[in-house]
């Protein structure tokens, strides 16, 4: 037997699927007035509010859902996304980490967590996390691009070029984004090799001079 909230919830979900978020919000708020303990009501309200650009209110709705059940991956994931849209990367990071405690096999969550670390200026940690996303989903072009870009920022140019080229191979649409920095990495690689050769020549010359004066 269906619960009293089912018809309204079904209607709200249909409105969401149709992209009618304002009407969906009205239905969900009516539902929650009568059923304030509706986990799905709060979760869907959070989603609607976030899609409507009201991320602060979305966070509040997700908190209401989490007060009912704090062990649902999707709620933590969506709450993290709302914080990210608010540029609160520290709180977004915490929520993605909590989501991954519940389900550590979600590549998108690892990728998004990497974005948080990147925004917080923790480049090596971002690389570590992007690597986990790619390990779970080797053809995840966006995560490969993000990993490549993080290597670029850390001036790990060989890895930046390798992962950037792989990302483009999987998804050619990423070429424009990769092209913004990959040539810099290639130039730095050439410069580094030339500098290494110069150092080696200087070292050998110094050794010859030392031998002559000994």
Q: What is the DSSP string of 110-136?
A: HHHHHHHHHHTT-HHHHHHHHHHHHHH
Q: Are 4 and 36 in contact (CB under 8 A)?
A: no
Mean pLDDT of 169-191: 94
- How many Cα atoms occupy the beta-carbon half-sphere of 64 within 13 Å? 20
How many domains does the chain fold into?
Answer: 1
Q: Which residues contact 123 (CB under 8 A, 6 or more apart)?
A: 117, 150, 153, 154
Taking the model in full, what pTM does it have? 0.85
Ramachandran region, residue 209 (left: φ > 0; alpha: ψ -120 to 50; beta: rest)? alpha
Residue 22 lies in a domain: yes
Asked if residue 20 belongs to a domain, the reply is: yes
The answer as to whether 203 is a domain residue is no
CATH of the domain at 77: 1.25.40.10
Q: On the CB side of 26, how many CA atoms lie within 13 Å of its CA?
A: 4
Q: Is residue 16 part of a domain?
A: yes
Q: Write down the pLDDT at residue 6.
A: 86
> Is pLDDT at 90 greater than 50 in this prediction?
yes
Average pLDDT estimate for 181-204: 75
**What is the span of the domain harbouring residue 44?**
1-86
């Amino acid at each position: 037997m269906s619960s009293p909230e089912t018809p309204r919830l079904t209607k709200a979900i249909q409105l969401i699927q149709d992209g009618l978020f304002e009407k969906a919000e009205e239905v969900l708020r009516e539902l929650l007035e009568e059923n304030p303990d509706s986990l799905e009501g709060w979760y869907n309200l959070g989603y609607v509010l976030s899609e409507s650009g009201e991320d602060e209110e979305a966070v509040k709705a997700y908190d209401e859902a989490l007060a009912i059940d704090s062990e649902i991956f999707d709620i933590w994931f969506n709450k993290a996304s709302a914080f990210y849209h608010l540029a609160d990367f520290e709180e977004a990071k915490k929520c993605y980490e909590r989501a991954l405690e519940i389900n550590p096999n979600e590549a998108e969550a690892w990728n998004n967590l990497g974005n948080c670390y990147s925004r917080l200026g923790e480049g090596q940690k971002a690389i570590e996390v992007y690597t986990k996303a790619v390990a779970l989903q080797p053809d995840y072009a966006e995560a490969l691009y993000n990993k490549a870009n993080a290597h670029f920022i850390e001036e790990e140019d060989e890895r930046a070029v390798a992962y950037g080229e792989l990302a483009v191979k999987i998804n050619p649409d990423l070429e424009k984004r990769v092209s913004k920095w990959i040539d810099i990495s290639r130039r730095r690689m050439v410069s580094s090799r030339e500098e290494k050769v110069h150092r080696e020549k200087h070292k050998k010359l110094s050794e010859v001079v030392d031998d002559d004066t000994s």
